[in-house]
Structure 1
Amino acid sequence: MSAYIIVQLEVTDPETYKTYAEQVPPILEKYGGEFVVRGGPMEVLEGDWPFPRAVVIKFPSMEQAKAWHASAEYEGPMALRQSASKGNMIVVEGA
């Protein structure tokens, strides 16, 4: 069953975040991940959304999503993202 990583974030260091964004796609590909939403215009319809940007990444399974996040390949880029933004990340199984 597919799984989705959903991220709410605010970029605080655009230059470092750009480096992160350039490094991630080939790592995602190794784990079967693909961007479904990558920034873009957004409107809150209900409730609170504490950050101005959203990212959704689709994976073939929950296991592959978690393996990507915990991988040695993603460790360096993840540190870049964490230093260049603030936000939340969850993984959820698809329907």
Structure 2
Amino acid sequence: MAAYFIVRCKYHDMDNYKKYAKAAAQAVNAFKGRFLVTGKGVQSQKESGQYPKTVIVEFETMEIAIACYECELYQEALSHIEHSADRDFVIVEGLETS
């Protein structure tokens, strides 16, 4: 069953964000993740709060999604935005399709 990174975020330092984005994309690609949404063309609603950017990444399974998040490359990517971003990050399992 597929699993997804769902990230709502606001970045305060674009140089650090670019470093994060490059390393995070490498980690996602290494685990055969697929970017479904990258925050372009967002229509924010009143309920959406403080996060102007949303990213959704699909993985084949929950185990693969967790392994990607925990891998050294992704953790290194996170170090670039540790003090320069506000984020809400969850990993969710998709519905079984049959």
Shared fold (TM-score, shorter chain, > 0.5): yes
Q: Specify every segment of 5 or more residues in structure 2 that has no aligned partner in the other structure, as ranges.
A: none
Q: Counterparts of 1:50 and 1:22 in 2: how far apart (Å)?
A: 24
- Identity, % of aligned positions: 26
The residue number in structure 1 matching 2:8 is 8
User: How far apart are 1:89 and its partner, in Å?
Assistant: 0.2
The residue number in structure 2 matching 1:84 is 84
Amino acid across the alignment from 1:65: A
Q: Counterparts of 1:12 and 1:45 in 2: how far apart (Å)?
A: 21
The residue number in structure 2 matching 1:23 is 23
User: How far apart are 1:46 and its partner, in Å?
Assistant: 6.5
1:24-39 matched pairs, under 5 angstroms: 24-39=24-39
Question: Does structure 1 residue 58 correspond to structure 2 residue 40?
Answer: no
- Residue-by-residue CA offset, 1:46-71 (whole Å, 9 max, x unaligned): 63333111000100011111111111
Structure 1 runs (4+) deviating above 4 angstroms are: none
Q: Specify every segment of 5 or more residues in structure 1 that has no aligned partner in the other structure, as ranges.
A: none
Q: What RMSD, in angstroms, separates the aligned Cα atoms of the two structures? A: 1.5
TM-score, structure 2 as length reference: 0.86
Amino acid across the alignment from 1:76: E
Aligned residues: 95
Q: Counterparts of 2:46 and 2:89 in 1: how far apart (Å)?
A: 19
The residue number in structure 2 matching 1:42 is 42
